[in-house]
Amino acid sequence: MTSRPPGKRALVFIATTLLLDTIGFGLIVPVMPTLLGSLTGKPPSVAVLDAGWLTFVYASMQFLCAPILGGLSDRFGRRPVLLAAVGALGVDYMIMGWAPTLSWLFVGRAIAGIAGASFTPAYAYVADISPPEKRAQNFGIVSAMFGVGFIAGPALGGLLGGLGPRAPFFAAAALSSINFVYGTFVLPESLPAERRRRFDWKRANPLGTVRQMRKHKAVFGLLAALFLWMLAHQVMPSTWSFYTKARFGWSEAMIGASLATVGVVMASAQALVPRILVPRVGERNAALTGIVIGGIIGFAGYGFATQGWMMFAILPTWFFGATVMPTTNALMSHKIPPDAQGELQGAVAGLFSLSSIVGPPLMTQLFGRFAAPDASLHLPGAAFLAAALLAAAAFVIYRRSEPPARRAPAT
């Protein structure tokens, strides 16, 4: 029996899944200090080390499992893998909500990292159902959910935290369970049986997935550029609050407002700009423009800012920077056969997780070293300047990997 072509409801489910993944992650951030303190008896200044290791476990499991979920979706189809991941995430939040010890929290974060790799088959699903001319737009729509979740998650977590440090976990479990039921009824399969490939463990690992991408020279180069871009972007979540507090004396409320503004800019840009920019300049030029304005100019601007208002003035550069991921994803998807879309997204997700493992220690060490009162060179914006250099390197590799399209000769 031939399945019906997936429609808008399926795209809504994919977008909702990514939104809930992000909300669920941000939802628990405000209550983690209180929860860790109640489980360990440690003050926040010491408990933060446990929080760091919890993040490390989460990112590491995503790094290892993203290509596995992508490979499984290429073999068994997107629907069963997506629904299994969403269902597992709902169960996992219940485990963390009931966790009696710190060890159980680590178990929960490990499961969350595995299930949170659902964006690998999710992006492959979008590639399956989108015609070539609509892929950048659809990738932009679902990518915008990360920005929306970045805004809503911490806000909801702080509100629900008033009911107790475990309340946000149960709320996240309920949201994931509702999405699982919704997906069961509205999500058709997007990958026909004749387009599937055999699952291979040698390919279903981060290094194996990347090695497979080497068969596609342009894609491999774009992945290298994308990794440098993602590594540069780690400066935002890892050092923004410390940098603005130390350099401008911002309060927690001001820091929260600025991060919410970042989320608004990213969400609106990813949903709208690809529709406007890509049809006019193409995916390649849209991405390169985003790297220059959002990365090189934007990060350097943050690093050299001398007044707090300048940080807000520079934020609009992310109207362009936020489009780099969806436009590059769309560009790469055109160069990969249908039976390897999940593998491609596994490589992207694996590189993102790797940047999440490597980036925060790198950026925080740069900030700590150059912002210290006794630093031989006092340069609090060093991490942002390093991010600008990484963006510049990404620009060079991107241009070499993806030359301009040749125009057809006039007749």
Q: What is the DSSP string of 112-124?
A: HHHHGGGHHHHHH
Neighbour count for residue 280 (Cβ, 10 Å): 8
Question: Is the dihedral angle over the CA atoms 58, 266, 283, 138 positive or is it negative?
Answer: positive
Q: What are 306's two structure tokens?
A: 């001398």
Stated as kind and residue range, the H or E segment containing 157 is helix 135-160
Neighbour count for residue 5 (Cβ, 10 Å): 10
Of 112, 94, 106, 86, the C-alpha closest to 169 is: 94
Which pLDDT does position 4 carry in this prediction?
Answer: 45
Which pLDDT does position 209 carry in this prediction?
Answer: 63
Given a contact cutoff of 8 angstroms between Cβ atoms, the answer to whether 178 and 89 are in contact is no
Determine whether 406 is exposed, middle or buried from the number of CB atoms within 10 Å of its CB (0-12, 13-18, 19+): exposed
Which pLDDT does position 411 carry in this prediction?
Answer: 41
Which pLDDT does position 205 carry in this prediction?
Answer: 62
Given a contact cutoff of 8 angstroms between Cβ atoms, the answer to whether 369 and 281 are in contact is no
Distance CA 276, CA 92 (A): 39
Which pLDDT does position 203 carry in this prediction?
Answer: 62
Of 237, 406, 225, 236, the C-alpha closest to 329 is: 225
Given a contact cutoff of 8 angstroms between Cβ atoms, the answer to whether 92 and 43 are in contact is no
Distance CA 74, CA 242 (A): 42
Question: Is the dihedral angle over the CA atoms 374, 376, 382, 383 positive or is it negative?
Answer: negative
Which pLDDT does position 368 carry in this prediction?
Answer: 78
DSSP structure string for 1-42? -PPPPP-HHHHHHHHHHHHHHHHHHHHTTTTHHHHHHHHH--
Distance CA 116, CA 25 (A): 9
Domains in the chain, CATH or no CATH each: 8-184+202-400 (1.20.1250.20)
Given a contact cutoff of 8 angstroms between Cβ atoms, the answer to whether 326 and 140 are in contact is yes
Which pLDDT does position 297 carry in this prediction?
Answer: 96
Distance CA 16, CA 25 (A): 14
What b/e string do you get for 69-78 counting C-beta neighbours within 10 Å, with b at 16 or more? bbbbbbbbbb
Helix (H, G, I), strand (E, B) or coil at 214: coil
pLDDT tens sequence for the chain (411 residues): 344 445 567 777 788 777 877 777 667 766 776 787 788 887 654 555 676 677 778 878 887 887 788 878 888 888 888 889 888 988 898 998 898 999 999 999 899 888 877 777 887 888 777 777 777 777 777 777 776 776 677 677 767 777 888 888 898 888 888 888 888 887 888 777 777 777 666 666 666 666 667 776 768 888 989 999 999 988 887 777 778 877 888 775 677 677 777 777 877 777 677 777 777 888 888 889 999 999 999 999 999 999 999 999 998 898 888 888 888 888 888 887 776 676 777 778 778 878 878 887 788 778 778 887 777 888 889 989 999 999 999 999 999 887 776 544 444
Which pLDDT does position 1 carry in this prediction?
Answer: 39
DSSP structure string for 31-92? THHHHHHHHH---HHHHHHHHHHHHHHHHHHHHHHHHHHHHHHHHH-HHHHHHHHHHHHHHH
| CA atoms within 13 Å, Cβ hemisphere of 264 | 9
Which pLDDT does position 6 carry in this prediction?
Answer: 54
